[in-house]
Amino acid sequence: MKDRGNITDLLNSKDSDELKALIDDTESIRRQKIGNKIYLRGLVEFSNYCDRDCLYCGVRNSNSRVVRYKMDQNEIIAIIKSAYQQGYRSVCLQSGETDSAAGVIWLTDIVKSIKDINSGTDEQGIGITLCVGELSYRQYLELWEAGAHRYLLRIESSDRVLFQKLHPPAQRYEKRVECLEALKDIGFQVGTGVMIGLPGQNAEHLVKDIEFFQALDVDMLGMGPYILHSDAPLSRTKARSILDPYTTTLKMIALARSLMPEINIVASTALQTINPEGLKMGIRAGANIVMPVLTPPRYRDQYLLYEDKKHTALQTIASELAEIEYQIETHKWGDPVHYFRRLGKEDPHC
Ligand code: SAH
């Protein structure tokens, strides 16, 4: 296993042969350990209302150019029923952040309605991932009891100083860590992650990120390149990263896969946006999850976290994956083996 110094050197390296060797090596280990199956999470970006002001994000509260929307319950359920017909067995509900009591009750009802889809047959129904930001322990518990079982909350950067440069003072690093711990305590499959190529970010930050993921013993990871949004203040900072966002994301995926072989790792939309080969290379580097966007086209221009966000149809994703001999596994939840291993349980849906 590589030590800290080797990992730092690898992340700093500009040598394309070294990158190729890393990906080839990781790919062969991965095929042995978790095979070539890719699982889907249909992404529904149900609301862009946001109380937060993350300095990198296009839907931040202060961006008055965004037209705010929130889908209604019927629309969300219709999208998910249609996804179910297409073979999706997991969805991810994502939105801007609001921790109002009414908002969480509304979401809890939606989670329950999704769980009802297909009730009455002996099939497992739909697995639900949430990505709706920082809430209280009690609110997370309500969502868990309603039937959500995975939660994504990226730490964005595990370095406290860098984190605070990316967020206004009211958004505290400690609070985000507390949320991750609460989610784990409740029993969620917990996913976190970081952006890569952030202004001021270097290889040492990323090494610390990997150590953070290991210490938290995460079940899922989502890492993607930082992409500018001209309405977000971070796009105007003079600081740059010395890291290339695309190749460094591939390296981070490969390192994460070799250090944490049984977790789920996503080939993020940002990775697919920044390079036409992003999907295939992200999968080859070690990702085993793809999140096709199910948000109806009329909302998509209002959910631009970063510019030129790419939307790829499921058929295109499937044929790109087939070219590199990976296969989409529909009709399965595709939970991470790691989760069951850490709880000492069997995966009931395997
Ligand atoms: N408010 C929710 C959802 C956030 S959007 C939450 O906090 O979990 C999901 C992810 O998009 C964020 O965690 C962030 O890592 C990523 N993102 C936001 N702006 C971005 C940008 N400019 N470039 C790349 N990724 C970005």
Mean pLDDT (the chain, rounded): 95
- Looking at the predicted structure, is the pLDDT value of residue 350 above 60? yes
In terms of pLDDT, which residue wins out, 117 or 52? 52
Q: What is the pLDDT of residue 240?
A: 83
Please calculate the CA angle 104-117-94 and round it to the nearest 5 degrees: 40
Please state, in angstroms and rounded to a whole number, the distance separating the CA atoms of residues 22 and 57.
31
> Given the CA of residue 156, which atom of ligand 1 is nearest to it?
15
Closest protein CA for atom 11 of ligand 1: 305
- Looking at the predicted structure, is the pLDDT value of residue 1 above 70? no
Confidence of residue 347 (pLDDT cuts 50, 70, 90): confident
Q: What is the pLDDT of residue 225?
A: 98
Position of tokens 């996913």? 191
Mean pLDDT of 167-194: 98
Q: How far is the CA of 305 from the centre of ligand 1 (A)?
A: 6
Report the DSSP beta bridge partners of residue 192.
Answer: 221
Which of the 8 DSSP states describes residue 234? Answer: G
Chain segment 193-238, per-residue pLDDT in tens: 999 999 999 999 999 999 999 999 999 999 999 999 999 999 999 8
Confidence of residue 28 (pLDDT cuts 50, 70, 90): very high
Q: How far is the CA of 230 from the centre of ligand 1 (A)?
A: 15
Q: Is 180 in the pocket of ligand 1 (CB under 6 A)?
A: no
Chain segment 230-265, per-residue pLDDT in tens: 999 999 998 888 899 999 999 999 999 999 999 999
Q: Is 305 in the pocket of ligand 1 (CB under 6 A)?
A: yes
- With H, G, I as helix, E, B as strand and everything else as coil, classify residue 292: coil
CATH of 4-342, one of 3.40.630.10, 3.20.20.300, 3.20.20.70, 3.40.47.10: 3.20.20.70
Q: What is the pLDDT of residue 348?
A: 81
Taking a C-beta distance cutoff of 8 angstroms, is the pair 196, 206 a contact?
yes
Q: Is 226 in the pocket of ligand 1 (CB under 6 A)?
A: yes
Report the DSSP beta bridge partners of residue 327.
Answer: 37
Which backbone phi and psi does 113 adopt, to 5 degrees?
-65, -35
> Given the CA of residue 50, which atom of ligand 1 is nearest to it?
1
Please state, in angstroms and rounded to a whole number, the distance separating the CA atoms of residues 212 and 224.
17
* Weakest-pLDDT range from 3-7, 16-20, 57-61: 3-7
Which strand (E) or helix (H) includes residue 265?
strand 264-267
Q: Is 191 in the pocket of ligand 1 (CB under 6 A)?
A: no
Q: How far is the CA of 315 from the centre of ligand 1 (A)?
A: 26
- Looking at the predicted structure, is the pLDDT value of residue 119 above 80? no
Closest protein CA for atom 4 of ligand 1: 96
Q: Delimit the domains of the chain by residue range.
A: 4-342
- Which residues lie below 8 Å from residue 39, measured CB to CB, with a gap of 6+? 90, 264, 288, 289, 290, 328, 329, 332, 333, 334
Q: Is 56 in the pocket of ligand 1 (CB under 6 A)?
A: yes
Taking a C-beta distance cutoff of 8 angstroms, is the pair 209, 197 a contact?
no
